[in-house]
Chains A and B, each alone.
Chain A
Amino acid sequence: DAGVIQSPRHEVTEMGQEVTLRCKPISGHDYLFWYRQTMMRGLELLIYFNNNVPIDDSGMPEDRFSAKMPNASFSTLKIQPSEPRDSAVYFCASSYRATEAFFGQGTRLTVV
């Protein structure tokens, strides 16, 4: 398996634009996690899914953030409208039954 795949690797966008981050988990994994990492706040859990169903979205900072998992092999994190303070590295991770978690390489988002 190629591991967790995230796209794009880098995204630069203007304030107010819509941003969509994508994640393909490892095949067979039933948990998918979205994290945001900044120097100030470290790794923050935004939302996670089990069998494509959102379990806990309490970490989503504002209504501008939304996440979907339409099937077991794909998830998106959308920010609309984006703001400069959303600039961070966004990670996706997957695991099977709360065992070992594997991370993607991340998407570095810059909002100018």
Chain B
Amino acid sequence: KQEVTQIPAALSVPEGENLVLNCSFTDSAIYNLQWFRQDPGKGLTSLLLIQSSQREQTSGRLNASLDKSSGRSTLYIAASQPGDSATYLCAVFTGGGNKLTFGTGTQLKVEL
């Protein structure tokens, strides 16, 4: 059974800092890994998708990396802004039936 864990559970940083969010998964037989953002009371917004054959993806100030062999992914946020405050979730499509399993999330607060 695939288990996805995110560390830390919560993070508070001053504006302008670069930060790293971590995601680990137990079954390395994944197809893709996706990072999402969720604002309070809202749905999930897709940020980045990394296919299993890729090592990283970039979108603006966001960079996500994937190391399948170690079961890890990181989301790097450069020059953080208060508008980045949200919960960040990673999810993996696991082989076989393409089940989409979510991590526990990291709640980020960027302070002025």
Chain B residues near A (Cβ < 8 Å) = 31-32, 34, 36, 42-46, 49, 51, 89, 91, 93, 97-102, 104-105
Within 8 Å CB of B31, what residues of A? 98
Bound Cα distance from A105 to B41, whole angstroms: 9
1/0 per position for A28-52, CB-CB distance to B under 8 A? Answer: 0001010100000011010010100
Are B46 and A100 touching (Cβ within 8 A)?
A: yes
Q: A48-B99, A99-B49, A105-B43 are in contact. List 20 more A-B contacts (CB 8 A).
A: A31-B100, A43-B89, A43-B102, A43-B105, A45-B100, A48-B100, A50-B98, A56-B97, A91-B44, A93-B100, A95-B100, A98-B93, A98-B98, A98-B100, A101-B46, A101-B93, A103-B36, A103-B43, A103-B45, A106-B43
19 pairs, A vs B, C-beta closer than 8 Å: A42-B104, A43-B89, A43-B105, A45-B99, A45-B102, A55-B97, A55-B99, A56-B99, A95-B93, A95-B100, A98-B100, A99-B32, A99-B49, A100-B49, A101-B46, A101-B100, A103-B46, A104-B43, A106-B43
